[in-house]
Structure 1
Amino acid sequence: MIGILGGMGTQAGLDFCNKLAMQYRGKIDQDYPLFFLYNKSNIPGRPESIGKTTGILTNRFENLSSKKKYEKVLKSLVEGCKKLEKAKCKFIVIPCNTAHYWYHDLQRKIKIPIINMPEEVFKHAKKNCKKNSKIGLLATEGTLITKVYDKIFNKQFKLFFPNNRLQKDNVNVAIKDVKMGNVKKAAKVIQPAIKYLLKNKCKKIILGCTELPIAIFAFKSIKTAKSSKVYLDPNLILANSAVKKYKR
């Protein structure tokens, strides 16, 4: 059984479940994969819990408050994963990019494997993108500050980001709009950031916040998302990885 720690946000978790079902489509109910979705929406806000100079690999925090916020989120993530462990899940997936800042400390406290979303996106990029090509990243400020993707992608690719104005006025607002259910508005708001990345010759764009694929693909078929020549959808990539691991 696949364990899904959702709630970050709720629609993003449901989007993952839908893509999981689409990737493993059956002819009858019994053909579909078994999964346990824990929509743990009370996990403290991830971007809000990240200080501007925090660093998980060096165990440095800008102040005691940052460390307490980090540990509070970690504790909540551990509680969620423990519940999935008790449900006898084979492995866990977390449809939230920013939450992977806590990945290494979380995995140390959980006995079953947790698939690392950014690493799966990197593996996908290696197969589908030219080495040293420029890839755009749309994500929360928390994901950008902690360099969740940079640490992996900078080995073989050049990540490129929106400028500060586009990040605050478009990316952040679009993410918030999806969380509030304003998907059509989010689809329009995110466009200037996308055009900026394309104008700066990004060959691919990582939708590095799980709310963003909802804004861009919500009114299109999953076939469109799968065949996109521009976007890398971490939720779709993670769903595909989960299906492969489930089949083993």
Structure 2
Amino acid sequence: MGNRENVVGVIGGLGNEAMVDLVRKMAVVPGSGQNSYVVYGNSRLAYRPEEVGRIWLPGDGPELRKRATAAHTALVMQYLGCGAVGLACNSAHELFREVMADLPMLFVDMIHETARSMAGEAGKVLVLGVTSLVESGLYQQALKDLGVSAFGASPENQRKVMAAIYDTGFGIKTAKITAQSETLLCEVVRDEYERHGCRKVVLGCTELPLALTAESCARFKREGLLPEDVVIVDASAVLARTLVHAKGVAGSSDIAPEVCPGGHTDWFPPAAFAVRSLPELADVQSRIIDLTIVYLGQRGRTVEGSYMHLPTLFAAGTDEETVGRIKLLTENFMDVRGDWEAQLGPVLERHFGTAL
């Protein structure tokens, strides 16, 4: 294949709204147009709605499925020529560190990069994220290694964070941003600030920057919902800057991953597109999310978590060989300049036949 050092990969799907947010942030980084991109929104990496919030052991079905699916996803990225890969999910970093360890691709670690961006911070740092991420201590340890003290929210406040992300009525995972989720997150930051005097808050879940944007945080400070001197650290923005300028690993694999891998791997042929740019990619993915919401709404359902989204796969600015390889991997390749929205209906039907 071509020069893999300039093929940047993004693994998303946990959920796809956060992947869009990361891609849009990458698009405005100076120099982003010099790379080619492969973006795989593999929602089958996520927990199913009924599995969220439960404690699973490594040998349990959901964990075996996630591990096998992550390994297959990484092989797809290698086959499509990625030299450097980033992950649009904080809590899955521990899994992908293991999966990527023996593959010839640079894994750009969002947690380590975010910690490095805060080296030398004198005060306490609040880490916001899903419970599994906070309890794992990944951010706390990464910051401690750099001499920075970090902590998670109190149990009561952590429940508020989880509700803001996962509540099926108003949570961010329902593919909408509501005043309820914004209010809960502001309450958590304000309470922890008053208790501990933390001046910096790490958004350690890629869903959180969707609600706590730079614009909304400025408004919350004007309205007194957030302390004026609190600095919100967006880990997704740190990853975007680092990933765009990452020097990838040369080399490639001509061995195509199995299309129907079987075993514990959760596979659905992704809706795939070749696009000209990252902004176009983000627009198409956003439209797919909108169409998914409409599809479910017509059937009396809502987006109940990341797993509900349609898996997608994009090549942005890549060569014809990469596009050809994508076509070998999925039967659902669509022409972005054709009537792809009409083609999406039957694909959604098949997807939800296995996802619901």
Name whichever structure is richer in helix by fraction.
Answer: 1
Deviation at 1:229, TM superposition (A): 6.2
- Cross-structure match for 2:177: 183
Three-state SS of the structure 1 residue aligned to 2:175 is: coil
- Cross-structure match for 1:207: 203
1:234-245 paired onto structure 2 within 5 Å: 234-245=235-246
1:37-186 paired onto structure 2 within 5 Å: 37-45=39-47, 48=52, 51=55, 64-65=59-60, 68-126=61-119, 129-130=121-122, 133-155=123-145, 156-168=147-159, 170-176=160-166, 177-185=171-179, 186=181
2:241 and 2:54 map into 1 onto residues whose CA distance is: 29
User: CA 1:82/1:113 → structure 2, altered by over 3 Å: closer, same or farther?
Assistant: same
- Cross-structure match for 1:5: 11
Deviation at 1:110, TM superposition (A): 2.5
- Cross-structure match for 2:213: 217
Deviation at 1:120, TM superposition (A): 0.3
Quick one: higher RCO (CA 8 Å, sep 6+), 1 or 2? Answer: 2
1:220 and 1:35 map into 2 onto residues whose CA distance is: 29
User: CA 1:158/1:23 → structure 2, altered by over 3 Å: closer, same or farther?
Assistant: same
1:217 and 1:83 map into 2 onto residues whose CA distance is: 32
Of structures 1 and 2, the larger Rg is shown by: 2
RMSD value, Cα? 2.7
User: CA 1:218/1:6 → structure 2, altered by over 3 Å: closer, same or farther?
Assistant: farther
2:46 and 2:199 map into 1 onto residues whose CA distance is: 34
- Cross-structure match for 2:25: 19
Q: Provide runs of 4+ in structure 1 moved above 6 Å.
A: none
Deviation at 1:73, TM superposition (A): 1.4
Q: Does structure 1 retain, via aligned residues, the 8 Å contact 2:157–2:188?
A: yes
Which shows bigger deviation, 206-215 or 143-152? 143-152
1:219 and 1:122 map into 2 onto residues whose CA distance is: 23
AA paired with 1:184? T
Identity of aligned residues (%): 19
Three-state SS of the structure 2 residue aligned to 1:38 is: strand
- Cross-structure match for 2:342: none
AA paired with 2:185? I
AA paired with 2:152? F
Which runs of 5 or more residues in structure 1 are unaligned?
A: 55-60, 222-227
Deviations 1:133-181 (Å, cap 9, x if unpaired)? Answer: 200010101101222212212231211222111111x201111211102
Q: Does structure 1 retain, via aligned residues, the 8 Å contact 2:127–2:152?
A: yes
AA paired with 1:90? G
Q: Does structure 2 retain, via aligned residues, the 8 Å contact 1:2–1:242?
A: yes
Q: May I ask how many residue pairs the two structures share in their alignment?
A: 223
User: CA 1:19/1:212 → structure 2, altered by over 3 Å: closer, same or farther?
Assistant: same
1:152 and 1:34 map into 2 onto residues whose CA distance is: 30
